[in-house]
Structure 1
């Protein structure tokens, strides 16, 4: 891939390792699963599917280096251990990897997505709302401006993030999902719907 910084961690909890060629965008793609993150300054696309999970896309526009995470729970109250599955760890590790890559903390900017009420078990405990509020609170506390957001609602989303230029494309998906994919939040039966998004985020089909 040509990145100058290292990658480590098992699939599903650490650096994303699912690399493919994206024919739609005609460039290398990296798919993030829950608990994963990725940082790059290359002309590639980072993609993930979000239900109640949240992804933060954080970038230093001066260097053209950006990264994305995908976390399932806001913190370890609902689990245990240090893991990128938890927002409290996922945000710290993403920011730290950006800084290792040369980004300036004072120059970081963010776009955030997800937090829908999709999974029944998570809806009952307001996990989507908690994830969304957590990411906004974290970025506010760290003085990282949020340039765009698409949070909440009841529909899952597929996110395409281009770290080299900061673009994000959002696909709204139907919420009729297979039970196996509900547990992983990684695949959905995909009929696209269109809805307005706050900020400079492009919905497409």
Structure 2
């Protein structure tokens, strides 16, 4: 995991202004839109992938729960493999080429520090997301993954910036923009 960097001033992070425009995504949901939209979500062991087209200012965000699973029309966004396929379909529907998008990757935190790491869902989700991006020939422009704790995320479609508040279990960290 890349260490979080802190902005020059914590007040420089516009969480209040982003929250006022937020379209909140629950686990298993996908959001896409243009220009002034802001998608927000809360990630634990789940992973979010953002895709943003800098010229069209079109973006997508998926929030998946598990790497793979049995899917139905109602559960496709819950699994990494099908959530990414939904994102690609949304790009096509809006005339956006995947190869022209900027990808970013977030989440996959370990929510329960004690216990075996063999069933670390966050780690498996991160591996799936990286594999999906690699198969699409996309290298993440930034990522903030792993660790112990949760992330509050805002994806600003106007700029492509992802604003992140990461809280380790038992300590507070600085807010970052990626």
TM-score by length of 2: 0.81
**What does residue 81 of structure 1 align with?**
71
Correspondent of 1:142 among 99, 111, 136:
136
The alignment status of 1:168 with 2:162, answered yes or no, reads yes
Q: How many residues align?
A: 160
Correspondent of 2:151 among 157, 164, 183:
157
Correspondent of 1:101 among 87, 94, 99:
94
Conserved in 1, the CA contact under 8 Å of 2:33 and 2:157? Answer: yes
Correspondent of 1:126 among 95, 115, 120:
120
Correspondent of 1:68 among 58, 61, 70:
61
SS class of match (2:110): coil
Conserved in 2, the CA contact under 8 Å of 1:62 and 1:107? Answer: no
TM-score by length of 1: 0.71
Deviation at 1:163, TM superposition (A): 1.5
Q: Equivalents in 2 of 1:140, 1:33: separation in Å?
A: 25
Q: Equivalents in 1 of 2:102, 2:68: separation in Å?
A: 22
The alignment status of 1:202 with 2:177, answered yes or no, reads yes
Structure 1 spans left out of the alignment, 5+ residues: 1-21, 177-190, 196-200
Q: Equivalents in 2 of 1:194, 1:47: separation in Å?
A: 18
Task: Choose between structure 1 and 2 for higher RCO, CA contacts under 8 A separated by at least 6 residues.
Answer: 2
**Which of structure 1's runs of 4+ aligned residues deviate more than 6 A?**
none
Q: Equivalents in 1 of 2:53, 2:124: separation in Å?
A: 26
| Bigger shift: residues 115-124 or 161-170 | 115-124
Structure 2 spans left out of the alignment, 5+ residues: 1-14
Q: Equivalents in 2 of 1:192, 1:101: separation in Å?
A: 39
**RMSD between aligned residues:** 2.3
| Bigger shift: residues 58-67 or 123-132 | 123-132
